[in-house]
Amino acid sequence: MEEGFKGKGTAQQQQPKCRVCAQNESLYACPKCNCRYCSSKCYRLHGDGTCVEAFHAESLARMMKNEKHFDGDSEDEEEKKREMEAMVMEYERHVEKDEREMRTRFGLEAKSFSPSSSDDEEEEDEEKEDEDEYCTLSAKLMRAYLKEEEDNKFSGISERDFAASDKKRLERMLRKGEIRVEPWRAWWTIDDDDEVLLRDDGTAKIVALNDDTNNNEDNDNGYHPSSVLGFPSPPTEPLPSYWSLLPPTKRTLKKVSAKQRNVFRERVAGAITLYAIIARAFNGDHACFDAAATYLMHHHHHHNDTNKNNNEEEDKEEEDKEEEEETNDSVNALLALHVSAVINAHTLVPSGLFYDASKSGKVAKNLESDAYAMLRSRSKRVLAMEDLRSMFRKAIEDSYYDDDDDDTTNNNNKKKKNKEFRSNCRKMERKLFFAECFANVTDEEFFAANSVADDEADAEAALMKVSSSSSSYPKEIQLTTSTEHNKIVSNAYAFDANSENICFDVRSHVGGHVFDGDLIQLVDVNTKEVKTVLRTAHEAKCGVALFHPFDENVLCCIVGPRHPTEEWAYCAHHRRGYVIDLSEDSNVDSSSSSNAQQLNSSRSLSSNLEARDLVSPFTKGALRGGTHVHAFSPDGTLVSMTYEDAILADATDVNVSRRNARNIAVTIYKDIVEIDKSRNDRNVSGGFTVCVTETTPDPTLGSDEISRAYEDCWMDSRTLSFLGDCRDERGNVRTELFVVELPRDVEKLKEEEEKEERLLQGTLTSYPKPPKSVKQRRVTRSSGCQGSVRFWPRANPADSNVVCILLRDEKASFQLHLVDATTGEIEQLSFLKDGEEVNSAFSWSPDGLYVCFATSTNRIARTFTRGGARKYQTEYLTPPPRTTNDDNKIRPECVCVSPNGKFVCFLKTTTTSSPTKIVCNVSEDKEEGKGKGKGSEHPDAKKKILVNQIFLLELPLNNNEIDDENEKKPTSE
């Protein structure tokens, strides 16, 4: 203990006994109650611990004041005391004035909270406090404070943490000047607009910070600059365009009347004006139950009055039957009238929040300035609307704390009222969300008579009037001319990272149904030069080549069995992935089989992609079957593929073999697993590979269980979307969109569950299981994701949470649809007319502006996903076909946009009479071959046959380039 606590007795004098233990001599005296004690243990026990609590309470008070007590010994401290007394008197004068206004405004008869009206009560409290010689803070508040300090959080102690005694003591400390309340400064009065700039989607506030703030470690712990500058927090999620929230007819036609836009503007103006009034009335403490209740009350009154006035105006318009042309000036005048109407309701009406204060004549003008300060800036409009929505969310939370009451009858009534209050708050919050989305438009559009979208729609309509005979289309280039093989291009990663080369394989069948090619080739988009980068030997076949996303020297493909036998022939579970390294000199030599690529396990050279072990006990990190369509993750760390299990598929037991199904697997690209090839000649070393989806041969009806997982697509570097076959309640197969989320740390892909039946490598009777950190979930619940052709889901490069799929529309036509992978919400994107539908795999532009595809009318087209009035519009990139036969038919397998957005690659059949070694089928049968044969020479080599060739569209650099000569962009109606 400190020496200041010691008694004044000396060593020569006999010390009195300790009043706590009554055994030892007392060496100390309590500074609060003068109780004698001998040790710290007795100090903590004396007086039931009340003095100890009082000591901590005083320490807490000093911390809250953040200032020292005045001893009165110095002249400076005396001067500070006089200043403090003057401030207290000024504060008491304002409190009395505010109390009179509150009583007059609401007709309250409750007792005043001003110091003058509670002198007797305060004197009694102070006398009682003097008798106890100390004042304690409640245990409730102490626990809240200590928890704040222990958790190192600075969110602040709320009003709910204060007991009644705490509140009284706080009021007394305010009057005495022991603590001060900083005056609230409205955030919208800050003149520096650079400090409240938001992105176009309303998120990510941009704040200029000094170096000290930038380097603050709190930035990584939830720190936000708005907490320093006093601004409300911006939206945490991007705000959608208000067009997307309109009914489908309005959203598709992109047409909103001037009267409807005025309604939207009035809602924003009214909400922001009332927000300013509420915030001022509550002195900035408007994130509470009472503020939300006040807003609801005054909003309903004003809304009813507005509806009444609107009905009278509509009746008058019907009588006149005349509609004047709206101008920007008239729009601004309407906004000014609406703002004034809201302010007048609170300054001129006795029930208004500022009725008494408005007598000074300046209140209405100041409130009007507040409203316009927020309305004139898009960022401040969004911040105000977001803060208003936060007020209702906070009020809903506070209402649950208000449900408790000792009286059962009162408690039931209170719960019923609070439930109704929460319902009203939720409804209001939803209404404000739409208003916030409209407030997020540009300032020009917000105050304009005609919206920017209407202007774009008018421009599009003008273009539609131009004769289609004058249409111009992007330049179409044929890249390949060889008739020796059919070319097959993948529907993703067909271009290298520089958009200079396209990879492809060759096959005998025009549709690629027979996997019998032995070449992987590249074609230069500038020179049209074709070179071979892989020639397989020993009767192994190859195909389905895809480039690395940013390494132009790396691509993956499928390689079939070498020296195939009847037991081990090419099929879905007897193939593997292979990595081609273009930096090797041997990669470009196709003249000699001796120079064919050698398969090895070094990742720096061409090698097997995934590890495979076909002998039990199986190796962790190796699969036991075949893989297909190998796509790198955006960061190049992982490679996804579809997988089927050879151990189960080749089993003689039917109950075991039926457990084989197509699944999704991933390989850690640079983590090599060595496999003993001496145990089985089909074993290969390669990357650590695991299955990441789980299937069952008999899914539960109506559940999210699936029997197959296929057509995978990277959404981001650790999330895959794919198609899964599930069963509805009647047992019908439904193909739906699923998502599998992988751990950010790829090493966690090696962690498995501690059960033998859940091994990553599987057993002789069980399928390989996913790692325990992998999460699989269903996204859509539709009538079934399907298309007239095979397709892969594709994620938006600009927003990975949005996935494009094919679904039937209301007319049973296959159209593009966008899916929100979080909510499962589905939005139709393309609206092709006259029975026309999407008839190919599709591809996004690198900026996410449009999706490109082939139509059932044999044309290449693109549908825009954003861009004001252009959203949902389809633009044709090729002219209508001249014939309907198989000649010049666009193939459905590939329509791929280049990484730089300049080219669209697609396949088209052409006729030839040149002699060929491997020919395509003239008639397109749909039987899928097993890849055993090489193809045969056509009996009449001079007969005209069809061969797939690679074509390229050279897109304009910008959307206006096509219109340079006043020619119309071909667009669907």
pLDDT tens, position by position, 122-136: 555 554 444 443 445
pLDDT greater than 50 at residue 666: yes
Check residues 375 and 226 and name the one with the higher pLDDT.
375
pLDDT greater than 50 at residue 227: no
Report helix, strand and coil shares of the chain as percent, to nearest 5: 35, 20, 45
Residues 594-605 have a mean pLDDT of 41
Task: Please give the pLDDT value at position 39.
Answer: 82
Task: Please give the pLDDT value at position 456.
Answer: 47
Task: Please give the pLDDT value at position 967.
Answer: 34
Task: Please give the pLDDT value at position 115.
Answer: 42
DSSP-based three-state secondary structure for 859 = coil
pLDDT greater than 90 at residue 646: yes
Distance CA 632, CA 547 (A): 8
Check residues 190 and 611 and name the one with the higher pLDDT.
611
Check residues 109 and 394 and name the one with the higher pLDDT.
394
Task: Please give the pLDDT value at position 371.
Answer: 87
pLDDT greater than 90 at residue 293: no
Check residues 31 and 186 and name the one with the higher pLDDT.
186
What is the C-alpha R_g of the chain? Answer: 38
916 band by pLDDT with thresholds 50, 70 and 90: low
CA distances from 651 to 386, 646, 687, 695, 766 (A): 61, 8, 26, 18, 11
Phi, psi of 709 (to 5 degrees): -130, 130
Task: Please give the pLDDT value at position 146.
Answer: 55
DSSP-based three-state secondary structure for 110 = coil
Task: Please give the pLDDT value at position 25.
Answer: 82
User: What share of the chain has pLDDT > 90, as a percent?
Assistant: 35
* Cβ-proximal residues to 755 (8 Å cutoff; 6+ apart), any chain: none
204 band by pLDDT with thresholds 50, 70 and 90: low
Long-range Cβ contact pairs of 668-671 (< 8 A, separation 24 or more): 668/637, 668/638, 668/746, 668/749, 669/603, 669/632, 669/636, 669/637, 669/638, 669/639, 670/603, 670/637, 671/621, 671/746
Over residues 61-82, the pLDDT tens digits come to: 655 554 444 444 556 666 766 7
- Give the relative orientation of helices 164-176 and 75-106 as an angle to the nearest 10 degrees: 120
804 band by pLDDT with thresholds 50, 70 and 90: very high
Looking at every residue in the chain, the average pLDDT score rounds to: 75
721, 738 contact by CB (below 8 A): yes
Task: Please give the pLDDT value at position 924.
Answer: 37
Shortest CA distance to 1 belongs to which of 42, 49, 34, 59? Answer: 42
How many other CB atoms are found less than 10 A from the CB of residue 664? 26
Residues 343-367 have a mean pLDDT of 72
pLDDT greater than 60 at residue 252: no
User: What share of the chain has pLDDT > 70, as a percent?
Assistant: 66
pLDDT greater than 80 at residue 545: yes
Residues 722-735 have a mean pLDDT of 93
762 band by pLDDT with thresholds 50, 70 and 90: very high
Task: Please give the pLDDT value at position 306.
Answer: 52
Check residues 46 and 749 and name the one with the higher pLDDT.
749
408 band by pLDDT with thresholds 50, 70 and 90: low
How many other CB atoms are found less than 10 A from the CB of residue 648? 24
Task: Please give the pLDDT value at position 343.
Answer: 82
Region of poorest pLDDT, from 162-171, 451-460, 596-605: 596-605
31 band by pLDDT with thresholds 50, 70 and 90: confident
901 band by pLDDT with thresholds 50, 70 and 90: very high
Task: Please give the pLDDT value at position 152.
Answer: 47
Region of poorest pLDDT, from 370-374, 480-484, 592-596, 902-906: 592-596
398 band by pLDDT with thresholds 50, 70 and 90: confident
pLDDT greater than 80 at residue 597: no
Task: Please give the pLDDT value at position 140.
Answer: 54
Task: Please give the pLDDT value at position 587.
Answer: 47
917, 937 contact by CB (below 8 A): yes
Distance CA 122, CA 135 (A): 13
Task: Please give the pLDDT value at position 579.
Answer: 94
- Give the relative orientation of helices 378-401 and 258-281 as an angle to the nearest 10 degrees: 60
Region of poorest pLDDT, from 35-49, 59-73, 194-208, 250-264: 59-73
**pTM for this prediction:** 0.54
Over residues 272-288, the pLDDT tens digits come to: 888 888 888 887 777 77
Task: Give the chain's end-to-end CA distance (angstroms, integer).
Answer: 88
Check residues 728 and 196 and name the one with the higher pLDDT.
728
Residues 431-438 have a mean pLDDT of 87
How many other CB atoms are found less than 10 A from the CB of residue 835? 10
pLDDT greater than 60 at residue 851: yes
Task: Please give the pLDDT value at position 937.
Answer: 47
Residues 626-635 have a mean pLDDT of 94
Task: Please give the pLDDT value at position 783.
Answer: 81
Task: Please give the pLDDT value at position 266.
Answer: 86
DSSP state of 292: H
Out of 16-30, 40-54, 930-944, the most confident range is: 16-30
What DSSP element (H or E) covers 312?
helix 289-320
Domains of the chain: 16-58 (no CATH), 194-205+227-301+322-404+415-447 (no CATH), 483-583 (no CATH), 607-786 (no CATH), 788-897 (2.40.128)
Task: Please give the pLDDT value at position 147.
Answer: 54
312 burial level (CB within 10 Å; 0-12, 13-18, 19+): exposed
580, 520 contact by CB (below 8 A): yes
561 band by pLDDT with thresholds 50, 70 and 90: very high
pLDDT greater than 80 at residue 316: no
Out of 273-282, 319-328, 383-392, 856-865, the most confident range is: 856-865
Distance CA 521, CA 596 (A): 14
565 band by pLDDT with thresholds 50, 70 and 90: very high
pLDDT greater than 50 at residue 670: yes
Residue type, 228: V
pLDDT greater than 70 at residue 339: yes
Residues 163-177 have a mean pLDDT of 71
Task: Please give the pLDDT value at position 836.
Answer: 92
Over residues 505-526, the pLDDT tens digits come to: 999 888 888 899 999 999 999 9
Check residues 928 and 163 and name the one with the higher pLDDT.
163
pLDDT greater than 70 at residue 948: yes
pLDDT greater than 80 at residue 687: yes
